[in-house]
């Protein structure tokens, strides 16, 4: 299932909804589940509304916190929506993609951790500063914690902060945690992943370089925008998440081509490491880090105002964002 958050273009209140992407259409999951309950006679009108909105809220973190009953309800709602409506005509809870606007699948993750899991990327990035890959990188899956309040979604404009002259994209994918746990073994870790999505960790390279020369960060160099989307693909639809082609286009020109298979450490090992002495919770996002040659820093070129950046990961869709005008001091 491809889980999305969306608003109807025709809705003046722009109330977000939880949906499922299906062949260019979006199914409003709570509305479909409500109708399913009514047709099966399993709840009254008020009860059906209350139960559907409780199990299938618009907030993805709350949905994941509801656990297996919520996921089962979502799947039942999707299956119901895919059956012919009979005498009802077109189901009112199925919306054409032209009538909706997609939001970030997860607007405010419980936690946002971004790793540096591709050896080619860290080797290239360190080389630009005349440095070797530190031995510790081979010992632990190092990461930083991102700003969860600056998440953007598909087709959102990227704000260009006033403090940077070097705007960059980063071609990544991410896993999302579906249940709570601590001290998780590598063998158990796969069970904690609910699905995957594309991640673009936009970077202000000049300020990032200054921050990291101090030995801390990145902070301001990363905190202004992280794009996620276009949907969360549940893991049952991805037979092998480490055999996916990855591409980045800028204004239609191919800048990067890589594969998830080049990850030095896979997500189960990363999850096990993070959960040691620390709880992970539903809605945690774990970024893979940038694939080799997956950013302008490695390529020796950077983004400009108005550029259209498109990240494509096999099975996970295309995440598009346009670079906005630089803000003035």
Using pLDDT thresholds of 50, 70 and 90, give the confidence band for residue 267: very high
Mean predicted lDDT score pLDDT of the chain: 95
CATH code, 112-326:
3.90.850.10
| Closest residue by Cα to residue 48 from 22, 15, 80 | 80
Q: Where exactly are the structural domains of the chain?
A: 2-103, 112-326
Using pLDDT thresholds of 50, 70 and 90, give the confidence band for residue 215: confident
Which comes out higher in pLDDT, residue 79 or 216? 79
* 85-96 tens-digit pLDDT: 754 557 899 999
pTM of this prediction? Answer: 0.96
> What integer is the mean pLDDT of 138-161?
97
CA distances to 2, 49, 93, 108, 227 from 317, rounded to whole Å, are: 10, 32, 23, 21, 13
Using pLDDT thresholds of 50, 70 and 90, give the confidence band for residue 282: very high
Which comes out higher in pLDDT, residue 177 or 10? 177
| Closest residue by Cα to residue 242 from 223, 262, 225 | 262
Residues 6 or more apart whose Cβ sits within 8 Å of residue 39: none
Rg (CA), the chain: 21
* 153-169 tens-digit pLDDT: 999 999 999 999 999 99
CATH of region 2-103, choose from 3.30.420.40, 2.30.30.230, 3.40.50.1100, 3.40.50.2000: 2.30.30.230
């Amino acid at each position: 299932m491809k889980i999305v958050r969306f608003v109807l273009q025709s809705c003046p209140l722009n109330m977000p909804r939880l949906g499922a992407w299906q062949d260019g259409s979006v199914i409003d999951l709570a509305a479909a589940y409500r109708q399913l309950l009514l047709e099966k006679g399993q709840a009254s009108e008020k009860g059906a509304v209350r139960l559907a909105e409780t199990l299938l809220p618009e907030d993805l973190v709350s949905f994941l916190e509801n656990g297996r009953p919520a996921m089962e309800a979502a799947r039942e709602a999707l299956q119901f929506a895919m059956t012919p409506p009979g005498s009802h005509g077109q189901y009112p809870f199925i919306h054409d993609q032209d009538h909706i606007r997609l939001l970030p699948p997860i607007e405010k993750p419980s936690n946002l951790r971004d790793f540096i899991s591709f050896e080619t990327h860290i080797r290239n990035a360190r080389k630009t500063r005349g440095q070797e890959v530190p031995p510790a990188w081979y010992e632990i899956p190092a990461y930083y914690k991102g700003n969860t309040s600056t998440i953007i979604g598909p087709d959102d404009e990227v704000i260009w902060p006033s403090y940077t002259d070097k705007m960059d994209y980063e071609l990544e994918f991410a896993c999302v945690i579906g249940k709570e746990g601590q001290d998780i073994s590598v063998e158990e870790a796969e069970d904690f992943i609910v699905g995957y999505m594309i991640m673009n960790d936009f970077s202000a390279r000049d300020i990032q370089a200054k921050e990291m020369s101090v030995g801390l960060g990145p902070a301001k160099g990363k905190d202004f925008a992280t794009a996620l989307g276009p949907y969360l693909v549940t893991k049952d639809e991805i037979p092998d998440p480490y055999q996916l082609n990855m591409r980045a286009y800028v204004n239609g020109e191919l800048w990067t081509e890589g594969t998830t298979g080049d990850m030095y450490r896979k997500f189960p090992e990363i999850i096990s490491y993070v959960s040691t002495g620390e709880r992970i919770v539903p809605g945690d996002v774990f970024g893979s880090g940038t694939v080799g040659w997956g950013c302008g820093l490695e390529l020796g070129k950077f983004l400009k105002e108005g550029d259209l950046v498109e990240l494509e990961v096999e099975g996970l869709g295309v995440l598009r964002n346009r670079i906005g005008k630089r803000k003035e001091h």
